[in-house]
């Protein structure tokens, strides 16, 4: 599958590479040094799962043959040390961990319009709904609230 890349998407995706101090999933930059290599590697494979979101957005979850990085989401009940940070304009909570779990899953979030998928973000790991916000459809917001009550972003300590 092909995705149109915008400057906004490139900027947003930087938080999933090694230089970012933000919580959440991180790519193995030996395997995927940049966004172009990631998108080229999934161009000819079909998503394992597709999740339709509101506003024409889709999540495509791919399963790769090898590890693509580290997942940055875990079960909230498994962690005691919870902190906060600003992430994409929102205050978010994260659990501090010594290591992130490896993953072979890769999720692409895109918007489908006029026959084109425009990339919003891509990250290693399984699909996680967006953080709840006021513009969400009621059912989507309920799923997001429920998910983030049970789950939390992870951040590896350096």
Give pLDDT tens digits along the chain (158 positions). Answer: 899 999 999 998 988 987 778 899 999 999 999 999 999 999 999 999 999 998 889 999 999 999 999 999 999 999 999 999 887 677 889 999 999 999 999 999 999 999 999 999 999 999 999 888 888 889 999 999 999 999 999 999 87
Tens digit of each residue's pLDDT (9 = 90 or more) over 11-30:
989 889 877 788 999 999 99
Quick one: CA dihedral 29, 40, 131, 103, positive or negative?
negative
Cα 138 to chain centroid distance, Å, stands at 22
CB 74 within 8 A of CB 152: yes
Q: From residue 1, how far is each of 21, 31, 60 by CA, in Å?
A: 30, 20, 10
Which positions ≥6 away from 24 have C-beta within 8 Å? 15, 16, 72, 73, 87, 94, 123, 153, 154, 155
Q: How many domains does the chain have?
A: 1
Position 125 in a domain: yes
Model pTM above 0.85: yes
Q: How far apart are CA 25 and CA 103, in angstroms?
A: 9
Domain assignment present for residue 2? The answer is: no
Residue 108 lies in a domain: yes
Q: Is 46 helix (H, G, I), strand (E, B) or coil?
A: coil
* Cα R_g (the chain), whole angstroms: 15
Asked whether residue 45 is assigned to any structural domain, the reply reads yes
Question: Residue 43 is part of which domain span?
Answer: 7-156
Coil, strand or helix: which one is 38? Answer: helix
Q: What distance in Å separates the CA atoms of residue 70 and residue 93, rounded to the nearest whole number? A: 18
In-domain check, residue 71: yes
Are the CB atoms for 69 and 32 separated by under 8 Å? yes
Paired strand residues for 59: 51, 109
User: Is position 1 within any domain?
Assistant: no
């Amino acid at each position: 599958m092909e995705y149109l890349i915008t400057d906004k998407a490139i900027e947003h995706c930087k938080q999933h590479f090694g230089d970012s101090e933000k919580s959440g999933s991180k790519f193995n930059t030996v395997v995927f040094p940049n966004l172009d290599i990631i998108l080229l590697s999934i161009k000819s494979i079909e998503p394992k799962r597709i999740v339709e979101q509101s506003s024409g957005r889709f999540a495509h979850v791919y399963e790769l043959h090898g590890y693509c990085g580290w997942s940055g989401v875990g079960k909230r009940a498994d962690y005691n040390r919870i902190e906060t940070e600003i992430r994409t304009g929102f205050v978010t909570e994260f659990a501090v961990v010594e290591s992130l779990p490896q993953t072979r899953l890769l999720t692409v979030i895109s918007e489908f319009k006029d026959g084109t998928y425009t990339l919003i973000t891509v990250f290693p790991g399984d699909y996680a709904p967006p953080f709840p916000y006021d513009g969400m459809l009621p059912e989507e917001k309920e799923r997001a609230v429920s998910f983030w009550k049970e789950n939390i972003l992870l951040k590896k300590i350096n």
